[in-house]
Amino acid sequence: MEKIRLGKTGMMVTRLGFGGIPIQRLTEAEAVKVVQRCLDLGVNYIDTANGYTTSEERIGKAVKGRRHDVYIATKTFPGDAEMVEKNLELSLKRLDTDYIDLYQFHSVNDMDTLNRILDPENGLYRIFEKAKKAGKIRHIGITSHQMDAAKAEVKTGKFETIMFPFNFITSEPAKELLPLCREHDMGFIVMKPLAGGMLDNATLCFKYLLQFPDVVSIPGIEKIQEIDEIAAIYEGPHNITSAERKEMKRMTDELGTRFCRRCEYCQPCAQGIPISLIMTFPSFVKRLPPDWYLKGGFIPEAMEKAAECTECGECEEKCPFNLPIREMIKESYSLYEQVKAANTK
Ligand code: SF4
Ligand code: SF4
């Protein structure tokens, strides 16, 4: 499988990586098999996170005996220092390894959080640096969903990689973010290559991304058949036919008008409604186990908040993609009520 240099990390990673979110839905034995199939196909880049419940532990079991053949990337939310230190130790333990190849700040979407991370006195970045010196982590990266924050993160020069959503619907990174990463020699990791499960034509999605020779994609994989299919696209001819281009345009026109890019330009909402999180709910339902999005935590909290929307419409005036936010919030909320009812029977 073709490899690329992941920016200044110098890591030679396969263009196709493995996203560790969906294996949470499987049994442990199934999850281990899926990860091992990826390794057998030559995939050498695995992404997971402290927040993905069983994912790290299952990956740890799957790579046993093959640890040095694979790069493992994981991440922690940028909470307080104590939490970050604990999460790092927990990741090492769950992955059953004494080093993490790439350790990332998870989902840094605003300047306040970025400034808190980089605070020279007691920023969280210092914890990562200390861990790097101690050999617990080898490289430092960051992940984001918000374009302005992501560009600022790249410009700091403090991170070796960035992970950002990129697919033919959310194609904005091709214009500025990716060229900026190249300028700073930063690795670009593609999250949501299938638009978080909203796009079901894998051939189109990966052929689109294969036009960019220096990005690594990490589709979430749940079935052996899925990784086999995607690996075949990577190994096959990458040229996009005119029929495929037309189909991409059709899908962009159709979905593009109803697809939240999580850019956050619609904020602030006077009612404190986490709009993008609510709009992304259908994608959580497609990819995650019900316990993850129904029990405790920030998702059910956000979904309950949806009921407080006064339908003032201010958010819609600010959305650069002209999304019918009020209508989409209602649809997401109704889906939430349906899955909640189905899972509490
Ligand atoms: S329409 Fe609802 S979500 Fe949008 S700004 Fe008004 S209260 Fe907030
Ligand atoms: S609703 Fe529009 S403005 Fe708000 S996050 Fe989504 S795409 Fe951006």
Determine if ligand 1 sits within 6 Å of the CB of residue 328.
no
Taking the centre of ligand 2 as the mean of its atom positions, its distance from the CA of residue 321, in whole angstroms, is 7
Using 50, 70 and 90 to split pLDDT, how confident is the model at 283? confident
Pocket test for ligand 1, best of 311, 318, 327 (most atoms within 8 A of CB): 311
Query: Is the minimum distance from the CB of 261 to ligand 2 under 6 angstroms?
Result: yes
For residue 8, pLDDT over 90 is answered with yes
Tell me the DSSP string of 143-165.
E-S-HHHHHHHHHH---SEEEEE
Predicted confidence (pLDDT) per residue in 79-94, tens digit: 999 999 999 999 999 9
What is the pLDDT, as a whole number, of residue 207?
A: 96
Ligand 2 contact, 264 CB (< 6 A)? yes
Where exactly does CATH 3.20.20.100 map onto the chain? 3-239
Query: Ligand 1 centre and the CA of 107: distance in Å?
Result: 23
Angle formed at CA 280 by CA 188 and CA 337, multiple of 5 degrees: 155
Q: What pTM does this model have?
A: 0.87
Handedness of CA 332, 334, 340, 342 (dihedral sign): negative
Q: What pLDDT score does 199 carry?
A: 80
Chain centroid to CA 284: how far?
12
CA of 119 to the centre of ligand 1 (A): 33
Tell me, in angstroms, the distance from the centre of ligand 1 to residue 268's CA.
9
Percent of the chain topping pLDDT 70: 100
pLDDT of residue 326: 97
pLDDT for residue 320: 80
Instruction: Collect all residues with Cβ–Cβ distance below 8 Å to 226 and sequence separation of at least 6.
Output: 202, 219
Q: Which of 260, 265, 273, 332 to mutate to test the pocket of ligand 1 (most atoms within 8 A of CB)?
A: 273
Tens digit of each residue's pLDDT (9 = 90 or more) over 202-212? 999 999 999 99
126-169 pLDDT, tens digit per residue, is: 999 999 999 999 999 999 999 999 999 999 999 999 999 999 99
DSSP string, 5-20: E-GGG--EEESB-EE-
Q: What is the mean pLDDT of the chain?
A: 94
Strand 12-14 to strand 18-19: parallel, antiparallel, or no bridges (unpaired)? unpaired
- The preferred substitution site among 321, 327, 330 for testing ligand 2, maximizing ligand atoms within 8 Å of CB, is 321
Closest ligand 1 atom to the C-alpha of 312?
A: 6
What whole-number distance in Å separates Cα of residue 21 and Cα of residue 43?
16
Question: pLDDT tens for residues 44-103?
Answer: 999 999 998 899 999 999 999 999 999 999 999 999 999 999 999 999 999 999 999 999
Rounded to the nearest whole angstrom, what is the distance from the C-alpha of residue 309 to the centroid of ligand 1?
5
Q: Is the pLDDT of residue 256 over 80?
A: no
- Report whether pLDDT(254) > 90: no
CB burial string 64-77: b at 16+ within 10 A, e below: eeeeeebbbbbbbe
Is the CB of 307 within 6 Å of ligand 1?
A: no
Share of the chain above pLDDT 90, in %: 81
In the predicted structure, residue 258 carries a pLDDT above the cut 90 = no
Pocket test for ligand 1, best of 260, 314, 333 (most atoms within 8 A of CB): 314
So what's the pLDDT on residue 132?
98
pLDDT higher than 90, residue 31: yes
pLDDT of residue 46: 98
Cβ–ligand 2 contact at 4 (below 6 Å):
no
| Ligand having the closest approach to the CA of 109 | 2
Fold of 3-239: TIM Barrel (3.20.20)
- Are the C-beta atoms of 171 and 209 separated by less than 8 Å? no
The tens digit of pLDDT for each residue in 211-249 reads: 999 999 999 999 999 999 999 999 999 999 999 999 999
The reported pLDDT for the residue numbered 338 is 95
Question: Atom 4 of ligand 2 has which residue's CA nearest to it?
Answer: 266
For residue 222, the CA-to-ligand 2 centroid distance in Å is 28
The closest alpha carbon to 306, from 324, 325, 284, belongs to 325
